[in-house]
Structure 1
């Protein structure tokens, strides 16, 4: 089936399912604009097709999807053509997946970050194997946890979502299941049988009951308690002060992690995740688009990409360089209305 996307994404009808396979394993299945537009076209067609009872999204290689194609973002921005439309289409896709009227099953058997989270974790069934690795590491490259992070992360108990947003820490399938990010966990070796039964029957809940395994939580209870204590504070300054007063290994390690992140990104992400708790998915995406437009006009996002994947020196020079140099008015600017440029959903 050809919905566009070339050799980067494949669409098939298998039994009762529409099946999407990401086919850029050499690039860790990083999302391109063409992939986003093709996936949107396929989902719209399948939602209207009575013969398609569910959608399954999977990927080739060791990654489900490591995020968006940020090198293309860097090159476009440096050339004076920041890819605003790529993000607008991506955010529309994220919002559409969240309200999709048919079962939307994501089978995640590897790395899932950033844009990969956006095309998987807003669906009805998020199925992870022991090979899955989840992260929203955007603050480490001067960005923010977008693609619906403001809708997904605030709902995690014990301030776990705020912790993931501010640190960018990676978690495995047990923590994803415990926190509610994943709905189901299965064995990687069972994937072929799972896909066959799923597409033959069109009944994800029944099939998952036979394949589900209870993945044990990886993060120990005392550490979860520390996360809940420190990251439940009302302000970012409060989080930092709490960690500074902690004087234990977890607090020291976490402070060192935060010190490497963009101060602007940390402030924006804290405000974003706090606000998202009271917003609908559509409103979250409008808020994130406002932030996105300002990030593309700024310094830290491009500097973070430079340090991570262009020069690879891992030494970003953030501007401003310290948390104390950013005031409430600076953060407010990222959330201000865009007028005629607001995201249309």
Structure 2
């Protein structure tokens, strides 16, 4: 059939052969999600879920990013302006979209050929097929902006083996496309040169086309560290994680310790608690807990400061409150986590 395209705010929906195709089109903003884009995606997912002529949905990004996450710059402006309800609405609808993807009744294919961070994982990892190329880069960098890995990350990160999800969630470490397959965040590796042909084949053949394009991923770059990651990040407190990294004594552990000490100390604490709790919750419960937690976090000073330092001014010199892990009040963290039950 002839493809028809409906253009939305920074995104388009297109019925293309056997598939419904969503294309994120904010390349200058690295396809960061704002509320109108989230609503547009949800509207078309609901339509295509009910349309028997649509066999699958394919999501792509224009430019060098699949999706760099939610538009935290805009959320910060809302928070600083006192528009907390608007900021909460953004997260509520984003998480509802993540849940809808997780429960989508048809194949949902994310073609990740570029940057995919934070909310970008929220619109990909919960789907049935996550195809990555050598240009893909996946990360959950929220502890570096005083937030917490959300969009259902407290569900999928704890389910990675060797406490790899705890490592990724706390450090914000970046995974290549091949590494994402080995880690379990992606389901297939396709060379970048072939991803255009795969995209076209999906419209003609449906998801059966993926198998023809899959290639073996490069070796797992973290393979030499998996034992250390499991031993260190399996600890139940940040202090113990840091102590184990110090005791391990390798260049890698020293570098990792340095990364942790640049993150928001408070964010590290509530993130570890969120990941541990999420290990025994289903996706819907994790999203609900994250929504309750984030509602409070965005009101704390580290969120506005972290986004300022990393996204707005880009001086990468956040002034955390408190500035050291030893100064974080465990009672304050425990009280915060009570809100996410």
Corresponding position of 1:5: 8
Counterpart of 2:305 (choices 286, 303, 306) is 303
Name the CA distance, whole Å, in 1 between partners of 2:317 and 2:193: 40
Instruction: Tell me, yes or no, if the aligned pair for 1:290 and 1:336 is still in contact at 8 Å.
Output: no
Rate the CA distance shift 1:89–1:37 in 2: closer, same or farther, 3 A.
Answer: same
Corresponding position of 1:112: 116
Corresponding position of 2:332: 330
Corresponding position of 1:200: 204
Q: Deviations over 1:68-120 (max 9, x none)?
A: 11110111111111311011000000011001100000000000001111011
Q: Which stretch of structure 1 is more off in the superposition, 319-328 or 158-167? A: 319-328
Residue aligned with 2:158, SS: helix
1:45 maps to 2:10: no
Name the CA distance, whole Å, in 2 between partners of 1:181 and 1:248: 27
Residue aligned with 1:154, SS: coil
Q: How far does residue 3 in structure 1 lie from its aligned partner after superposition? A: 6.7
Residue aligned with 1:122, SS: coil
Name the CA distance, whole Å, in 2 between partners of 1:39 and 1:197: 22
Counterpart of 1:175 (choices 173, 176, 179) is 179
Residue aligned with 2:175, SS: coil
Matches within 5 A, 1:275-314: 275-314=277-316
Name the CA distance, whole Å, in 1 between partners of 2:11 and 2:223: 40
Corresponding position of 1:31: 33
Rate the CA distance shift 1:144–1:220 in 2: closer, same or farther, 3 A.
Answer: closer
Corresponding position of 1:78: 80
Matches within 5 A, 1:57-206: 57-82=59-84, 83-202=87-206, 204=207, 206=208
Gaps of 5+ in 1: none
Q: Deviations over 1:262-311 (max 9, x none)?
A: 00100011011111111000000011011111111111000001111222
Rate the CA distance shift 1:49–1:287 in 2: closer, same or farther, 3 A.
Answer: same
Instruction: Tell me, yes or no, if the aligned pair for 1:65 and 1:112 is still in contact at 8 Å.
Output: yes
Q: How far does residue 4 in structure 1 lie from its aligned partner after superposition? A: 6.9
Rate the CA distance shift 1:219–1:183 in 2: closer, same or farther, 3 A.
Answer: same
Instruction: Tell me, yes or no, if the aligned pair for 2:147 and 2:298 is still in contact at 8 Å.
Output: no
Name the CA distance, whole Å, in 1 between partners of 2:6 and 2:41: 7
Name the CA distance, whole Å, in 2 between partners of 1:3 and 1:89: 21
Name the CA distance, whole Å, in 1 between partners of 2:270 and 2:5: 39
Q: Deviations over 1:155-196 (max 9, x none)?
A: 111111100001001010121111111011101111222112
Name the CA distance, whole Å, in 1 between partners of 2:20 and 2:336: 38
Gaps of 5+ in 2: none
Name the CA distance, whole Å, in 2 between partners of 1:189 and 1:3: 28
Residue aligned with 1:106, SS: strand
Q: How far does residue 221 in structure 1 lie from its aligned partner after superposition? A: 2.9
TM (norm. structure 2) is 0.95
TM (norm. structure 1) is 0.94
